């Protein structure tokens, strides 16, 4: 159960306040706000992708509405890396105030700028590298190289009058990374010697024992799968997974195949990565989709989006036969990514659909075609022992992951009362070297539905689920309230309810009588009469049809 809201006290001068607006108790929409002496620093602003019980929703944002009255106090937004769950919400924040400085690595900001271009926003950016320092208002920042499943990821050390905080962002400790850029444990150790007052660590794999496997183990497996496939190969991955795309390009080249990138975000991101030198494209291996028609199936690899079962992504459209690329026997589909919690049903539906089409489906469950980008328990223990923080606040993960991460910190000697297991909206103050929760603000989901941002509510989604699962019944009646008579109707129209339309003839006399009785009792306003219709039809539908359909009564008063 979430903690009930209670207002935090006024922030003491010289104290640091940390408030997560997303990313805790979930995997996505990461965003944390730091406040000291009236100024705000934001780290990350990502999105969460909707689940099946959120029909029609495109994206879910952190609760950026909590910043509406503080926009002028924001000194910068630091972006730790270029994944959607850390940068996807930036356009919606900048629509509130366009000149907020964006701080991040070269690749991260390039991905963000391409996204912002679609929203017609020209951002104010500041490219930083590991080992660099930057000062924004009362926040003195130092950037640390960390290894993740995307190049150019950074942790950030935040020095303030209240003490030193390290936020790891997403990271792991791959000792043989594809790009040779390892997590800088020497920097962690140096900061540990300085004295880290609060360590905020990635929790995604905290409940996974041991160490995360290195990325280099994946390349040979992908190459072997491609070499054994007689037909076409389709590899689905995140559109920002530069390392995985590199391995696919190399494996295709080694087997004499050409590669077609599918999906707008995949094409855009890989062009950026190649232009900036983060992706090495073997000569002649890439070909555009429109020029690939004459290439035989055994000479081609399609690199697509849709590894999480997203309904509008390329892979889902292939399964539904709504894409020009057809999947069939002799073809192999590789799902080269892990499952984001909540997407399991969608992904397994995709796998079943592909197998029904005759394809061989290779995924993490039956082959080593993906490794996580997050540190497992063994790596986190190393970090705690190196940093020796005074306080720990696990971030980025579902509740069980946060709890497992806190337990690891305690094992290494961090006192239990110095570990903070927070949730979205928990207000944590760092005062005199002690971090403790001081309040809980209510955090809402901000839904993006087409061009609508924040206008769709949980009640709207509940109505959509009801219409999808229980059907829709409209009842139109024209009444003359002075005489208390029915002029026309009731006419009943049902959608998504399987019963024959003649079934509803039984309820029409009951609706008419209920309306006439109501008008005799003095109920003559349209809203009151519509409530009478809703109750009458609702009772009948629930009793006779065993359904909870959405009922929309329309009463016209003449």
Question: In this structure, are 25 and 143 located in the same domain?
Answer: yes
Shared domain for 174 and 288, answered yes or no, is: no
- Residues 40, 189, single domain; the answer is yes
Domain of residue 196, CATH code: 3.60.15.10
Count of structural domains, the chain: 3
pLDDT less than 50: residues of the chain: none
Contact (Cβ atoms closer than 8 angstroms) between residue 170 and residue 86: yes
CA 163 to each of CA 10, 80, 253, 435, 543: distance values in angstroms, whole numbers, following the listed order: 19, 21, 51, 11, 64
- Collapsing DSSP to helix, strand or coil, 398 comes out as coil
CATH of the domain at 270: 3.40.50.10710
Using CA atoms in the order 195, 197, 200, 206, what is the torsion angle rounded to 10 degrees? 70
Domain boundary among 339, 362, 385: 362
Which of 343, 362, 381 marks a domain boundary? 362
| Same structural domain, 41 and 181 | yes
Dig out the tokens for 298 from the structure: 């055994």
Residue 386 forms part of a structural domain: yes
Q: What is the pLDDT of residue 463?
A: 53
Q: Which spans in 39-184 are helix H?
A: 84-87, 90-94, 106-118
* Cα distance between residue 217 and residue 215, in whole Å: 5
Burial annotation 491-517 (CB, 10 A radius, 16+ → b, else e): ebebeebeeeeeebeebbeebbebbee
- If asked whether residues 228 and 125 sit together in one domain, one would say no
Q: Which residue has the tokens 């900061």?
A: 191
> What values do phi and psi take at 524, rounded to 5?
-125, -5
Instruction: Tell me whether residue 9 is in a domain.
Output: no
Domain boundary residue, one of 330, 362, 394 = 362
What is the model's pLDDT at position 293? 84
Alpha helices in 139-212 (DSSP H): 185-194
pTM: 0.81
Q: Is 142 helix (H, G, I), strand (E, B) or coil?
A: strand
Contact of 477 with 486, CB cutoff 8 Å: yes
| 76 and 142, same domain (yes or no) | yes
Residue 427 lies in a domain: yes
In a domain, 6, yes or no: no
In a domain, 350, yes or no: yes
- In this structure, the answer to whether residues 179 and 240 fall within a common structural domain is no
Do residues 257 and 319 both lie within one domain?
yes
pLDDT of residue 32: 97
Instruction: Tell me whether residue 2 is in a domain.
Output: no
Same domain, 166 and 227: no
Domain identity same for 202 and 220:
no
Question: Domain check: are 515 and 405 in the same one?
Answer: no
Is 548 inside a domain boundary? Answer: yes
Which domain CATH number covers 489? 3.10.20.580
Q: Are both 65 and 126 inside the same structural domain?
A: yes
d(CA 384, CA 193): 13
Cα dist from 190 to 134, 182, 185, 291, 334, whole Å = 18, 16, 9, 53, 42
Q: What are phi and psi of 253, to 5 degrees?
A: -60, -40
Domain extent, residue 300, equals: 215-362
Query: How far, in Å, are 18, 22, 177, 405 from residue 204 at the CA level?
Result: 20, 14, 19, 9
Q: Is residue 133 part of a domain?
A: yes
Of 31, 373, 321, 361, nearest in space to 200 by CA: 31
Q: Contact 314/323 with Cβ under 8 angstroms?
A: yes
């Amino acid at each position: 159960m979430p903690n009930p809201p209670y207002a935090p006290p006024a922030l003491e001068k010289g104290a640091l306040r940390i408030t997560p607006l997303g990313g805790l108790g979930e995997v996505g929409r990461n965003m944390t706000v730091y406040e000291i002496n009236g100024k705000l620093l934001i780290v990350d602003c990502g999105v969460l992708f909707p689940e099946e019980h959120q029909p029609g929703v495109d994206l879910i944002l952190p609760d950026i509405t909590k910043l509406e009255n503080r926009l002028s106090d924001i000194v910068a937004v630091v972006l730790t890396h270029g994944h959607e769950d850390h940068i996807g919400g930036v356009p919606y924040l900048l629509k509130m105030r366009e000149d907020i400085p964006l701080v991040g690595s070269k690749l991260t900001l390039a991905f963000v700028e391409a996204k912002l271009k679609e929203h017609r926003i020209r951002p104010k950016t500041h490219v930083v590298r590991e080992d660099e320092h930057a000062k924004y208002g009362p926040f003195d920042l130092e950037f640390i190289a960390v290894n993740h499943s995307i190049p150019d990821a950074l942790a950030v050390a935040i020095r303030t009058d209240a003490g030193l905080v390290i936020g790891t962002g997403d990271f792991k400790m791959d000792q043989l990374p594809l790009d040779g850029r390892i997590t800088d444990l020497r920097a962690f150790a140096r900061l540990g010697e300085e004295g880290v007052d609060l360590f905020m660590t990635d929790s995604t794999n905290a409940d996974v024992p041991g160490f995360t496997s290195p990325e280099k183990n994946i390349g040979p497996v992908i190459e072997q799968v491609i070499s054994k496939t007689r037909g076409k190969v389709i590899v689905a991955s995140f559109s920002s997974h530069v390392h995985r795309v590199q391995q696919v390009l190399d494996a295709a080249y080694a087997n004499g195949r050409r590669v077609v990138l599918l999906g707008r975000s995949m094409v855009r991101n890989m062009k950026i990565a190649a232009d900036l030198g983060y992706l090495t494209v073997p000569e002649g291996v890439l070909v555009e989709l429109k020029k690939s028609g004459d290439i035989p199936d055994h000479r081609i690899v399609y690199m697509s989006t849709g590894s999480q079962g997203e309904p509008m992504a390329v892979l889902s459209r292939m399964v539904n036969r709504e894409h020009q690329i057809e999947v069939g026997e002799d073809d192999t589909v590789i799902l080269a990514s892990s499952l984001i919690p909540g997407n399991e049903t969608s992904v397994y539906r995709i796998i079943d659909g592909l197998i029904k089409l005759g394809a061989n489906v290779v995924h993490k469950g039956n082959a080593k075609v993906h490794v996580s980008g997050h540190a497992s328990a063994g790596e986190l223990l190393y970090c705690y022992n190196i940093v020796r923080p005074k306080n720990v606040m696990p971030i980025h993960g579902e509740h069980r992951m946060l709890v497992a991460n806190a337990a690891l910190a305690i094992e290494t000697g961090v006192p239990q009362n110095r570990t903070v297991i927070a949730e979205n909206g928990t207000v944590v103050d760092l005062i005199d070297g002690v971090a403790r929760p001081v309040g809980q603000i209510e955090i809402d989901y901000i839904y993006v539905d087409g061009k609508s941002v924040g206008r769709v509510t949980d009640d709207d989604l509940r109505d959509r689920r009801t219409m999808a699962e229980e059907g829709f019944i409209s009842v139109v009646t024209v009444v003359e309230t002075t005489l208390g008579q029915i002029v026309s109707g009731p006419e009943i129209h049902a959608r998504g309810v399987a019963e024959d339309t003649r079934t509803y003839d039984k309820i029409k006399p009951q609706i008419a009588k209920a309306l006439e009785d109501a008008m005799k009792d003095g109920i003559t306003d349209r809203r009151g009469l519509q409530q009478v219709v809703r109750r009458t039809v609702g009772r009948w539908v629930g009793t006779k049809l065993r359904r909870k359909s959405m009922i929309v009564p329309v009463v016209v008063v003449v």
